[in-house]
Structure 1
């Protein structure tokens, strides 16, 4: 999604899609959710197993308010997609969160050391762990249109929790983050 043609586009958020096959596997993830982290960790293996010419994997970001810094982190991921490297930069930020999840989450969703963290602290951690300069991209006017698009798309598809999985536009409740990659690949045949 880019800015409307009426304004001079100065940035572009790279779609979070890998592969180019006809079967579309959409994964709705909240970056700090442990189950989403588990699902995210399997996506590269799924693409390798099922074949990039057979499937397309699309990550949809599902910000959830009980994950207290969810909105900040989702915006950082989308900001990273505007940087050189596009979707791979966004993936690096997601991988940084996954590798250090406890530094971006609250204990029992309401306590712990992150009670003293600010959004600037969270951005600085993501920059340190991902190796990407995110602060300027985070502040892009209009980047909220990308955040809103992800939220709207999830709502339009009746998705409220993460991870949720869709195959060719239909939610598949039988897929779980705990499944083996081979089981996912089988459902995509």
Structure 2
């Protein structure tokens, strides 16, 4: 599936020209299995792609909101805000967010206001060099009605988030993580894939 220019930060690619293959990772920031896959990808698979497959493979992070975790929407909004502010920081922000993801699990946010959660997310952005105040400004929700009386005002990333949700629904993805290779879901890839298993899979599937 195509990637709109405004979401270009979700792409990891070493090549300056089009590549042969695309790995799409449907991940949720508050899913422990997504955490496992992301960490292996970020720390082990990316270096392997740089070394052996730089002209052949690109990786796209597809943000998959899992609505049974209410905070899932909020953390993914932060990812979208980073794409608007500093798209080149998206993967580094995602790593920092995954590192602290348990603090956004259900039991840890149940007594927290929405804007307080956004404040914590903005602080994570600051750790990777994103302006904390600008990030929070995109995320915060006003506690007063809009000028037209609307009470569902959303925030500055709501419309972009709707696009991402629509794209994922078109693919019918449910489980996280889900991996799509060249447009086809590959259920053989597990969140528990080790670096060696990824190396074997790439050797077998990348032309």
TM-score (norm 2): 0.75
Partner of 2:194: 180
Greater radius of gyration (CA)? 2
Structure 2 unaligned segments of length 5 or more: list them: 141-153
**1:145–1:181 distance in 2 versus 1, CA, 3 Å:** farther
Distance 1:81 1:125 in 2: 18
Q: Aligned-pair distance for 1:141? A: 6.1
1:36 to 15, 34, 37: 34
Partner of 2:137: 136
**1:113–1:100 distance in 2 versus 1, CA, 3 Å:** same
Alignment RMSD: 2.1
Q: Which is helix-richer, 1 or 2?
A: 2
Distance 2:56 2:64 in 1: 25
Q: Aligned-pair distance for 1:186? A: 3.4
Partner of 2:96: 96
Partner of 1:16: 10
**1:87–1:119 distance in 2 versus 1, CA, 3 Å:** farther
Distance 2:67 2:84 in 1: 24
Distance 1:186 1:129 in 2: 36
**1:120–1:141 distance in 2 versus 1, CA, 3 Å:** closer
Q: Is the 8 A contact 2:138 2:156 kept in 1?
A: no
Query: Once superposed, which parts of structure 1, at least 4 consecutive aligned residues long, lie more than 4 Å away?
Result: 139-142
1:79 to 78, 81, 89: 81
Partner of 2:176: 162
Aligned length: 173
TM-score (norm 1): 0.81
**Structure 2 SS opposite 1:161:** coil
Partner of 1:9: none
